[in-house]
Structure 1
Amino acid sequence: MNPWTRPWSRSWNRARQRVNHSLKWKLVRLFLLLALGTTVIFLVGMKEIVRLGWQGWGRPLLADYVTLLAADIGTPPDVERAKALVARLPISLHIDGPQVQWDSHPQRPAPWQRIASPGNPEGMIHIRTLADGHRLVFGLAPPSPAAHPKWVGWGTLTLLLAITWIAFRHVRHLLRPLDDIRAGAIRFGRGEFDDAIPVRRDDELGDLARQVNTMAQEIRAMLDAKRGLLLAISHELRSPLTRARVNAELIDDSPERAALLRDLAEMRDLVSDLLESERLASGHAALQREPTDLNALVADTLAAHFAGQPVEQQLAPALPMLALDRMRLRLLLRNAVDNALRHAADAGRPPVVATRLDDDGGVTLSVRDHGPGVPPEQLAQLSQAFYRLDRARQRSTGGVGLGLYLCRLVAQAHGSALQIRLAGPGLEVSMRFAPPGHGGTNGARTEP
């Protein structure tokens, strides 16, 4: 295929797919086919009616009238009378005989040469032979240019196009509630229940819009009840865990005390991670976005949670301010760095936290370790909930498999995607922030 025609071909294919997918255009095509079919059936029926009427009444009357005209011309034919008839009636006349040779329209072919023509049925030509041997050939006069002005054809085409456009606009108006229902379903899927679907008409589509609104309110009520249950569970679980930790602190120092405190801390972190993952995975978490210096956020998070740990920072200067949820970005950083430290403890080089300014103004945040890495076929499963390479879940490896899962959810909530790749050696976990002013929430609601 010519490379110059490929963009046109792709555009044509996309347009054809949109038209084939559109219910509006399907209805317009149906109306046009219905109009075309009705017109064809009407014309065929009318033609048959006219043919039967012509054969039954019109032809006998016309034949008798032609006989009267021939008698009026006289024998031998009087050319002046013939001229008067042609001037008065829309007919053509050809006289052929021993004394008179005359044709009202000499520029046209001889009438008897047109008798067998497919465009001129024999019934439109009438021949009368006079007693003196003259032959009179009567036919219809050719149409004059003034009788068929050019604007008739263009006007007919314009009228058909106008009717088609009016039909499309009317169908679009009739199906406007479907666009509203589609937009409402997308909003409800993102957890935005404040704006209901507008009910524009009192018909079946209006009833459907009302039913979808009712369903959305019921879903919102169920989600609110679910969040309330999560908060109640969080409170009920954290309180006894806090009391147990306080009591454990009062026990004399011993390996058992240290093990108990570690287990209680893991249970506390597990409850927090489960609640946060539920909020983020449901797509209804409200992001508290605010202008953020990503480099400062990285430095503060590492200083607060990994003080004394071997973590290298490679932060690009002069990054733009980004609209981020700081609490959840800290959660992502904490889990990613903790995962890097845990799985690359014996590596010769510490994990690296880096930021990079992309060519289009976006910013990339990455955390890389220099450990043994993972088999390539398991990369896609690392960010799944509770997935661990260590199936035995030994205590030495730590974690329950929620770290990278939470990182993926935080990235998705910010309109990005978590990328995990083999860095050779080790793994690199990264996410990209869109340029300021172009970011999306990707299903999460944003609160100022």
Structure 2
Amino acid sequence: MADSPLAWWRRQGLRFRLTVAAAAVLALALAVSASVLLSVLDRALIDTVDESTRAQAQAVRVAADAGTLTSPITTHDGTIVQVIDDRGRITHVTYGADRLVPLLDAEARAQVLADGQATLLDGRPYAMPGFLRVIVLRADRGQTVVAARPISEIQTSLATAARVLFVGTPALVVLLAVASWLMIGRTLQPISALRRGAAEVTNTARSRRLPVPQSRDEVHSLATTLNDMLARLEEAEQRQRALVADAAHELRSPLASIRLQLEVALGHPGGQDWQETAEGVLEDTMRLARLAEDLLALARLDERGGVPARREPVDLDDVVRQVVDRYGEARLTVCDPVVVRGDALDLSRVLTNLMDNAVRHTSSKVDVALTGDGVLTVTDDGPGVPEQDRDRVFNRFTRLDSGRSRDEGGAGLGLAIVRETVRAHGGTVSLEDAGPGLRAVVRLPVSR
């Protein structure tokens, strides 16, 4: 089954379609312009002939009224004139005009006089080539002046102009089509370069970028946008690779510990304290479970692209009370009513991670406060974090050597989950010096 013309057209290249469209539009415009030009030129030339003929007829009528006509009548532009009396006889004519047969009969003369406009007459029956423009004026004593002028020169000029346009218009269309083909091809060269550059980008060429044209046009903006996209993809890939590598490193230690404990227990079953072995394996298993939960939480945050799982009104003060009640070392100092939009479970996880971190490193107490402007603080009196490391600890798998090592806590994902979740809810999180200790400050937009 043959494809439709529209389907065939859509399969053609952009360069071909633009060239054909430009040529078609120009051809149509030139055809309309040529038609209008010939029509206007014809009308202008005919009007000029009519005015000249009317002027000659007017001069003859004045002479007829004054009785000064001579025969033959003399005209300077080849106008044919007949003066007809009230009985229909031709009394005066120009040289070469018929002295017996009027150009227009009485009825035709009366019609032209009534219209007041020139009429077109075939001159061949009167031994005159081509057509004539005829003017009729009424003179005194019942006389009628009939003036006619051939328009063969006008028709010849129009035919010549039409032939020139008929030949020149297609030539101009072809010339424009060739110029358009070349110009469009040159314009599309940056796009072809982008296509070739994109074809060369592979999963092994991480730092590959597309060529950016020097011209500040839409193609330049497209290339810049695509390079920004490649940079983001490269950054995401690097984060993913780093996450996989760090996760594999974190998984190695508890798995090695479980394997060692089981191999020792199986190698010396008689002298093994199975209760102690089970407790050790359980501890490492819980560590693996926490790591898996944290990795799953980060994966869900990345999958949502920085958007909360739900956007619904959340009474943040209720969430804070429920979480703080689970920690005996914590004290809720201020808890103003606050409503935010987001996911209650994610916000609960934020406070839980901050509380786990604070309880793990506090010396005696943990203070929690929630103010009406959406500021949540968790303060401990532990060793704190050096100022130069307070932003770095929010990175994934980041643990400080002093006071916050692996032996004292998790895999370094808790604060990373906090930052990503808070950002998804449109807020910010930072660490401040509590003198002594550390204060985690979360700022969330309040729902009005």
TM-score, structure 1 as length reference: 0.39
TM-score, structure 2 as length reference: 0.39
